[in-house]
Amino acid sequence: MRDREIGRFARDSRHAGTVARASRSLRWERPAPARGQSLSRPQRRNARATEGGTPALLQPAASSTIVSRSPHASFPHNAFTVWAQIERRLRAAEGWVLFLDFDGTLVPLVNHPNQVRLERAVRKLLRSLARHPHLTVYIISGRRLDNLRKVASVPGVHLLGLHGWEEPGATLPIEQQQVLREAKRWLEPRHPRSSGIWLEDKGLAIGVHHRGASPAAGRLAKQLTLQARRRFAPELNVMRGRKLWELLPAAVKGKGEATRELLRDLPSHTLPICIGDDASDETAFAALRNGMTLHVGGKGRTKAKYWLRNPTEVREFLERLEVVANCRKPSALSNS
């Protein structure tokens, strides 16, 4: 199955604050923008909305709403078995931006999203990385931003919710909010409590969870979500997560689009490092073909170039990155 996204995706200026913060965190001089890239991220969003849509490069396929793993994926290498190669690449970069997923990446997966806890040592590590003058750190999650703040707030680390769409002040058109409410009302009586499926009302998204439930419950969750999407098309998209199906507003485009746009506003020699475990991370892996992409969860079908076993190995990777970053003298970076 190929990575696929569908829907018409609205453009707006919601990421202005994030981009501004990210820009402030970078202390080296920006290179001149490439042709056609002189607009800021929010300006580009507005321009595309005015022009009536998404550029061809970003157009999703029209036949499905599902974002899932690719059958054409290559076989990635374990990051630590090819560490010398990775280290060379890290050392060659003039700056780095980390795009980190949260659940299943920085913290182990648990049955209920509210049960997670970011370890103190990981917080400390992220704070230290974010302080580095040539390193910018984002946590991009499918959670709502408010929820993400409660569990992942670390000084200097930028947080984006709803797969990169949501930052402070983000709002959804009233019509799409209304459609989401209707979709939830439609779903509620259709999933038996005994099935093990439970609905998570994220306000701007609906999660249909089946973690810990039977395979039959997983099939039912998928069926219900796709039925809801068909019923409320084209206002809603569907994304597949781990033991989760999500109904999202059409405006939410996924991590691929979010990371690509954030990267456009960073200096051109910045190396993007993207780490995630979920189907939604695959869109970012595909978008960052020239970056360093790492799939968490072992060797599997993925568009990432490397893999890590679990959040413990993610932590080890970040610790190694910190060592490399600290070995680089700021003057050497600035003058390179």
Query: What is the nearest approach in angstroms of Mg ion to the Cβ of residue 104?
Result: 4
Sheet of 206-209: strands edge to edge? 198-201, 206-209, 244-249, 236-241
Judged by CB under 5 A, does residue 104 bind Mg ion?
A: yes
CB atoms under 10 Å from CB of 188, counted, come to 11
Which residue in 3, 101, 235, 257 binds Mg ion (CB under 5 A)? Answer: 101
Which residue's CB is nearer to Mg ion, number 90 or number 275?
275
Query: What is the nearest approach in angstroms of Mg ion to the Cβ of residue 184?
Result: 23
User: Mind giving me the DSSP string for 110-177?
Assistant: -SSGGG----HHHHHHHHHHHHSTTEEEEEE-SS-HHHHHHHH--TT-EEEBGGGTB-TT----HHHH
Judged by CB under 5 A, does residue 277 bind Mg ion?
A: yes
**Is 83 exposed, middle or buried (CB count within 10 Å of its CB: 0-12, 13-18, 19+)?**
middle
Which residue's CB is nearer to Mg ion, number 235 or number 277?
277
Judged by CB under 5 A, does residue 282 bind Mg ion?
A: no
Which residue in 3, 235, 278, 313 binds Mg ion (CB under 5 A)? Answer: 278
Query: What is the nearest approach in angstroms of Mg ion to the Cβ of residue 277?
Result: 5
Span interacting with Mg ion, options 122-130, 147-155, 201-209, 275-283, rule CB under 5 A: 275-283
Q: Distance between the two ends of the chain, CA-based, in angstroms?
A: 42
Query: What is the nearest approach in angstroms of Mg ion to the Cβ of residue 47?
Result: 32
CB atoms under 10 Å from CB of 67, counted, come to 28
Which residue's CB is nearer to Mg ion, number 101 or number 257?
101
Span interacting with Mg ion, options 209-217, 255-263, 278-286, 319-327, rule CB under 5 A: 278-286
# residues near Mg ion by CB under 5 A: 5
Query: What is the nearest approach in angstroms of Mg ion to the Cβ of residue 149?
Result: 17
Span interacting with Mg ion, options 32-40, 102-110, 154-162, 313-321, rule CB under 5 A: 102-110
Q: How far is CA 141 from CA 10, 137, 232, in A?
A: 19, 13, 24
User: Mind giving me the DSSP string for 37-55?
Assistant: --S-HHHHHHHHHHHTS--
Judged by CB under 5 A, does residue 246 bind Mg ion?
A: no
Sign of CA dihedral 186, 189, 193, 196: negative
Which residue's CB is nearer to Mg ion, number 67 or number 325?
67
List all residues 6 or more positions away from 210 whose beta carbon is below 8 Å from its beta carbon: 195, 196, 197, 217, 218, 220, 221, 243, 244, 245
Which residue's CB is nearer to Mg ion, number 104 or number 291?
104
Query: What is the nearest approach in angstroms of Mg ion to the Cβ of residue 7?
Result: 21
Span interacting with Mg ion, options 56-64, 97-105, 170-178, 247-255, rule CB under 5 A: 97-105
Site for Mg ion in 133-192 (CB under 5 A): none
Judged by CB under 5 A, does residue 254 bind Mg ion?
A: no
- How many distinct helices (H) and strands (E) make up the chain? 11, 11
How far apart, in whole angstroms, are the C-alpha atoms of residue 238 and residue 229? 7
Which residue's CB is nearer to Mg ion, number 44 or number 253?
253
Query: What is the nearest approach in angstroms of Mg ion to the Cβ of residue 16?
Result: 26
Q: How far is CA 241 from CA 103, 140, 189, 246, 283, in A?
A: 11, 14, 22, 7, 12
Residues that bind Mg ion (CB under 5 A): 101, 103-104, 277-278
